[in-house]
């Protein structure tokens, strides 16, 4: 079994090529996806590998998608797959049809990308998100609000419809309040096992960047903006296929070019949003630049690097090293800090790396 196979597998049975492509685009950065026009091909594949979530369109076998679900339910093994019935509205009709087919999960056509992402991610993260329900109100709100904002990003990418920045900062406010009460550990723990890696990483960056900002004397609205910048800094990764995003080991030149393009995608996404704070754009556009000029996309160096972006680069590298990935366990924080002041000495602002280290010693992360 390869490391990548640990990523959740989503299957779609849908006769429409257009919809199969569309679902592929929406989910490509997060999951492995297998699509089938023909339900008999899907059944044969499920005998080999069970998907973690299955989407069945009502148009399968000339409008008999429900019959296909019933067929699955007759099989002792296949009946355990969580099935979403994808059906035309109105919602009540679609829900009724889904129930008759034997599932309570329904996606009403036409749907937004964010609804699709939230539906699949909600099923895969049911257990993780269920645990959030038992957290105190503030921490629960921080997690639920940010995951919702994060899912909405896919709509902006799909339609170019703007995401008001107020929505982002509002969802980050409980996170910042928890940070300022020094009670954010449960938020960090809450995202640890979330299977949307981009969300988990972005939340860790949002939390640490806002905490770092606080340690540097930043308060109030700007602290919320920093959290928002952390949440959005990699938004463009939603346009990068998971094979590149989650590849263990070194990327080849072509793959690295694709990976690097996430910065341009993020900036394009931010430019499509309303009233984005300029600091958020700077954080996103410069978080992979390095002090010695070897970073991307513009090879900026020394004084050309904005102060907030220097902080973001430190937080981003620290998070990437200490994140849990499908192909690697998290690196020990002290080991990560040593690497950042050793091997990566010329990449990161060392004065600020020192401040970051001190801050982490004070905080329980
Ligand atoms: Fe990035
Ligand atoms: Fe990042």
Contact 331, 322 (CB under 8 A): yes
| pTM for this model (two decimals) | 0.89
What domains, with CATH codes, occur in the chain?
3-124 (3.40.50.2300), 127-362 (1.10.3210.10)
Ligand sitting nearest the alpha carbon of 312: 2
The structure tokens 């035309």 sit at: 88
Structure tokens at 249: 């080991």
Query: Could you tell me which residues come within 8 angstroms of residue 60 by beta carbon, excluding any fewer than 6 positions away?
Result: 13, 14, 15, 39, 68
Q: What is the pLDDT of residue 4?
A: 40
**Over 336-358, what HEC string results?**
HHHHHHCCCCCCCCHHHHHHHHH
**Ligand 1 centre and the CA of 204: distance in Å?**
13
Considering every ligand atom, which ligand is closest to the CA of 320? 2
Residues 6 or more apart in contact with residue 339 via CB below 8 angstroms:
321, 331
Between the CA of 199 and the centroid of ligand 1 the distance, in Å, is 12
**Alpha carbon of 237 to ligand 1 centroid (Å):** 8
Longest Cα–Cα distance of the chain, Å, equals 66
Q: Kindly write down the DSSP assignment for every residue of 66-128, as one continuous string.
A: HHHHHHHHTSTTGGGS-EEEEEES-HHHHHHHHHHHT-SEEEEES--HHHHHHHHHHHHTHHH
Provide DSSP, 222-238.
HHHHHHHHHHHTTGGGG
**pLDDT (tens place) for every residue of the chain, 365 residues total:** 333 447 899 999 999 999 999 999 999 999 999 999 999 999 999 999 999 999 999 999 888 899 999 999 999 999 999 999 999 989 999 999 999 999 999 999 999 999 999 999 999 999 899 999 999 999 999 999 999 999 998 888 888 888 999 999 999 999 999 999 999 999 999 998 888 889 999 999 999 999 999 999 999 999 999 999 999 999 999 989 989 998 888 999 999 999 999 999 999 999 988 899 999 999 999 999 999 999 999 999 999 999 999 999 999 999 999 998 878 889 999 999 999 999 999 999 999 999 999 999 887 55
d(CA 202, ligand 2 centre) in Å: 7
Nearest to residue 200, comparing CAs of 285, 286, 324, 312?
A: 324
Q: What is the CA(279)–ligand 2 centre distance, in A? A: 16
The CA-based dihedral angle spanning residues 140, 142, 144, 145, taken in that order and rounded to the nearest 10 degrees: 150
**Closest ligand to residue 316's CA:** 2
Q: What is the structure's pLDDT at 274?
A: 82
Report whether 259 contacts 245 (CB < 8 A): yes
């Amino acid at each position: 079994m390869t490391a990548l196979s640990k990523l959740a597998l989503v299957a779609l049975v849908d006769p429409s090529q257009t919809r199969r492509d569309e679902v592929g685009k929406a989910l490509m950065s997060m999951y492995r996806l297998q699509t089938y026009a023909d339900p008999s091909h899907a059944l044969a594949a499920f005998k080999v590998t069970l998907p973690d979530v299955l989407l069945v369109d009502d148009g399968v076998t000339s409008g008999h998608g429900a019959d296909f679900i019933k067929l699955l339910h007759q099989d002792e093994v296949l009946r355990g797959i969580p099935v979403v019935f994808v059906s035309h509205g109105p919602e009540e009709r679609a829900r009724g049809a889904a129930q008759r087919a034997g599932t309570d999960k329904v996606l009403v056509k036409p749907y937004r990308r964010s609804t699709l992402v939230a539906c699949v991610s909600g099923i895969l993260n049911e257990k993780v998100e269920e645990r959030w329900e038992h957290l105190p109100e503030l921490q629960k709100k921080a997690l639920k609000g940010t995951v919702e904002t994060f899912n909405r990003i896919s709509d902006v990418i799909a339609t170019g419809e703007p995401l008001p920045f107020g929505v982002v900062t509002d969802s980050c406010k409980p996170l910042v309040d928890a940070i300022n009460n020094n009670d954010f550990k449960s938020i960090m723990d809450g995202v640890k096992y979330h299977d949307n890696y981009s969300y988990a990483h972005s939340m860790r960056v949002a939390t640490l960047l806002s905490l770092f900002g606080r340690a540097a004397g930043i308060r109030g609205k700007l602290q919320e903006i920093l959290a928002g910048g952390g949440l959005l800094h990699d938004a463009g990764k939603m346009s990068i296929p998971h094979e590149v995003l989650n590849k263990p080991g070194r990327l080849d030149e072509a793959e690295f070019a694709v990976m690097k393009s996430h910065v341009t995608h993020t900036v394009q996404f931010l430019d499509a949003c309303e009233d984005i704070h300029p600091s958020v754009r700077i954080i996103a556009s410069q978080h992979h630049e390095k002090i010695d000029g070897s970073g991307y996309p513009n090879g900026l160096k020394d004084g050309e690097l904005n102060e907030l972006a220097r902080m973001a680069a430190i937080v981003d590298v620290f998070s990437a090293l200490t994140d849990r990935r499908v192909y690697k366990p998290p690196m020990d924080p002290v080991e990560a800090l040593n690497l950042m002041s050793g091997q990566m000495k010329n990449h990161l602002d060392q004065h600020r790396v020192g401040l970051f280290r001190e801050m982490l010693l004070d905080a329980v992360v």
